[in-house]
Amino acid sequence: MEIRKYQAKDKENCRNVCHKTATAPKYVNSKQLVCLLYCDYYVDKEPDNCFVVADDNDNAVGYILCAEDQKAYDKGVKPYLKEARKIDFVDGVMPILESIAFKGLCKKYPAHLHIDILPEGQGLGHGSKLIKALEEHLKAKGIKGVRLGVGGDNTGAHRFYERNGFKLLKNLGNMGRVYGKEL
C-alpha cells in the first residue's frame, strides 16, 4: 500500500470508504447523506488537498480529505448541505452551526480534515502517513493550522490524534472533541 495524491478515478472508492467506515445508524443507512457531509465537497472542490492510501491494485482504501480555508468551505459546501437537508434536516444544518460555534478557531486553524481507512488498511501506520502528507502539503501552501472533530466516545481516535501532535481544543463531552495542530 502507498500514500499518494487523490485522483479523479478515486472518487467512488473514497465514497465507499466514507460509507463503510460510518458508524451512526443514519449514515450506515444512507450512503448519499454521509458522502454529502464528509466526502463529496472535498473531492469535488478541493481535490488538491486530498490524499489516499492505495492498495496493490491502486484502489483507494483510505483517505485524508481537507478544506484549507473555512470561509471558502462555508460558501462552497452550500449545495451539498442543501441536498443533505433533503435527507436529514438536522445533519444538513449541523456543519453550518459548527462553523459558527468554532469561528474563533478558524484564524489559528483555518483548515479542517476528515480521515477514514477501511479495516484492512488500519493499524499499519497509514493514518499517520496520511496526516504527514497533508501537513507537508498545507505547510507548502502557507496554511498555519488544521483541526478536526471526533466523537466523544472514540478514545482510540483521541489517542491517535494526540500521538500525531494534535492538541485538544474543545471537549464537548459525549458530543465530541475538537483537536487542532499548528503547522
Output 95 or 9, whichever has higher pLDDT.
9
CA distance linking residue 179 with residue 157, whole number of Å: 11
Whole-number pLDDT of residue 138: 98
Give Cα separations from 169 to 60, 80, 103, 107 (angstroms). 31, 27, 13, 13
Taking the CA of residue 166 as centre, how many other CA atoms within 13 Å lie in the half-sphere pointing to its CB?
26
CA distance linking residue 15 with residue 127, whole number of Å: 18
- Strands 111-117 and 145-150 come out as parallel
CATH number of the structural domain spanning residue 130: 3.40.630.30
Where in the sequence is the domain holding 42, given as residue range(s)? 2-182
- 39-49 pLDDT, tens per residue? 999 999 999 99
- Which residue in this structure is represented by grid cell 467512488? 12
Whole-number pLDDT of residue 42: 97
Going by pLDDT thresholds of 50, 70 and 90, the confidence category of residue 112 is very high
> Domain count of the chain?
1
pTM (predicted TM-score)? 0.90
Going by pLDDT thresholds of 50, 70 and 90, the confidence category of residue 73 is very high
Question: DSSP 3-state assignment of 109?
Answer: coil
Q: Are 52 and 101 in contact (CB under 8 A)?
A: no
Going by pLDDT thresholds of 50, 70 and 90, the confidence category of residue 61 is very high
26-40, 41-55, 73-87, range with greatest mean pLDDT: 41-55
Torsions phi, psi for 177 (to 5 deg)? -135, 150
CA distance linking residue 30 with residue 127, whole number of Å: 25
Whole-number pLDDT of residue 89: 84
Give Cα separations from 57 to 6, 77, 92, 137 (angstroms). 15, 32, 35, 25
